[in-house]
Amino acid sequence: ISNGINGVLVDPENPRDIASNIANLLDSPQKRQLLSDSARSEAEKYSWESIIDRVQDVYEQFTKYRVAL
């Protein structure tokens, strides 16, 4: 989580910090939407489809390297 980008990091031992950040989010629908959109975009990087694509790219690069040897 990137604080203020795709989520909000708080001190879990500090109830005032937690409450203050919750209140800030409740008061700002635009901020909530921005965080939500960014979090979804970040999470999509870890979908099975994305992982498969990245693994396939690695295999393709490896086989090209092996052929070149």
What pLDDT shows up at residue 65?
80
> 3 forms bridges with which residues in the sheet?
7
Res. 19 pLDDT band, cuts 50 70 90:
very high
Question: Is residue 9 classed as helix, strand or coil in its secondary structure?
Answer: coil
> 7 forms bridges with which residues in the sheet?
3
Res. 67 pLDDT band, cuts 50 70 90:
confident
Give the C-alpha separation, 57 to 69, whole Å: 19
- Residue corresponding to tokens 């040897």: 69
Q: What is the mean pLDDT of the chain?
A: 94
**Residue 14 is encoded by which pair of tokens?**
């500090």
